[in-house]
């Protein structure tokens, strides 16, 4: 199936690092960071929505596999939310985030945001059996002894939280807010890139030097056609599953 030319803008910017085009590469990097964070929030929303659907339709007893799915969806949703809105990316090559600022949020939203970050940092990324979230110990562990005819048998048990209703409610409240803020940043940054490219008056021949095949890049003809026929948002996300 024929496609219009796809141009690798990173490659193009890399060939224009001097003179009046010197800032283009930095502008592209800023736009990419915002789009990538936006993708984190979209995927977090997908996980939160799937979790809500499961909770609404589940049988009384989920069983082991059901609990694993619930825990995975909740953990992924929280981690992606935090990755897109808080992590610093301090090491070389790390993306960082579009951090939500105190002045962008109401008092209640800021509290929700901080609690979601604490959930990621204190009870998901690390294990602290003394840390409570909403007065609930997330990682409950105990070493104990059971008296048997042969004497005391020593054992241990861990009871970790699978689904946490208040955390899910915070995600429901904060994901639309965070999405709107990061979307605004992406729109501004992609508009700046478009303006810079238009003003640069780069010859068509230079663009075509950086053409790439979209099929292997995006994984399928459907994905490529979705991009070609897109609504002009400037941002599209896809899930990939490799065998």
Instruction: Look at 157 and 89; give whichever has higher pLDDT.
Output: 157
Q: Are 235 and 43 in contact (CB under 8 A)?
A: no
Paired sense of beta strands 6-7 and 211-212, if any: antiparallel
Q: Which domain holds residue 159?
A: 6-212
Average pLDDT over residues 13-27: 74
Residue 235 falls inside a structural domain:
no
107 vs 201, higher pLDDT = 107
* 218 within a domain of the structure (yes/no): no
Decide if 154 is inside a domain.
Answer: yes
Read off the pLDDT of each residue in 145-164 and give the average, rounded to a whole number.
Answer: 84
Q: Is residue 145 part of a domain?
A: yes
Range 179-190 average pLDDT: 95
Residue 175: per-residue pLDDT: 98
The count of domains in the chain is 1
Contact 96, 33 (CB under 8 A): yes
> Would residue 230 count as lying in a domain?
no
Instruction: Evaluate if pTM is beyond 0.75.
Output: yes
Q: Residue 123 domain-assigned?
A: yes
Cα torsion through 56, 74, 143, 149, rounded to 10: 40
pLDDT of 16 reads: 74
d(CA 198, CA 116): 41
- Asked if residue 114 is part of any domain, the answer here is yes
78-117 burial: b if 16+ Cβ within 10 Å, else e: bbbbbbbbbbeeeeeeeebbbebeeeebeeebbebbebbb
In a domain, 1, yes or no: no
Q: Which two tokens stand for residue 242?
A: 């490799």
Q: Is the pLDDT of residue 239 over 60?
A: no
Q: Give 54-84 pLDDT, tens digit per residue.
A: 888 765 566 778 888 898 999 999 999 999 9
């Amino acid at each position: 199936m024929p496609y219009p030319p796809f141009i690798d803008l990173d490659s193009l910017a890399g060939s224009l690092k001097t003179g009046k085009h010197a800032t283009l590469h930095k502008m592209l990097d800023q736009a990419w960071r915002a789009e990538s964070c936006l993708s984190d929030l979209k995927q977090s929303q997908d996980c939160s929505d799937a979790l809500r659907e499961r909770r609404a339709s589940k049988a009384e007893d989920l069983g082991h596999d059901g609990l694993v799915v619930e825990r995975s969806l909740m953990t992924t949703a929280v981690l992606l939310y935090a990755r897109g809105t808080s992590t610093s990316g301090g090491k070389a090559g790390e993306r960082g985030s579009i951090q939500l600022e105190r002045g962008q949020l109401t008092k209640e939203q800021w509290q929700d945001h901080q609690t979601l970050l604490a959930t990621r940092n204190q009870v998901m990324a690390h294990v602290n059996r003394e840390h409570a979230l909403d007065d609930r110990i997330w990682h409950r562990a105990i070493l104990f002894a059971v008296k048997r005819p042969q004497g005391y048998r020593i054992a241990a048990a861990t009871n970790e939280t699978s689904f946490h209703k208040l955390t899910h409610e915070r995600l429901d409240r904060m994901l639309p807010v965070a999405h709107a803020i990061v979307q605004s940043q992406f729109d501004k940054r992609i508009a700046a890139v478009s303006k810079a490219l238009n003003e640069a008056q780069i010859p068509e021949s230079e663009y075509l030097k950086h053409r790439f095949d979209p099929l292997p890049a995006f994984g399928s003809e459907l994905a490529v056609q979705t991009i070609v026929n897109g609504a002009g948002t400037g941002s599209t996300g896809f899930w990939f599953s490799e065998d």
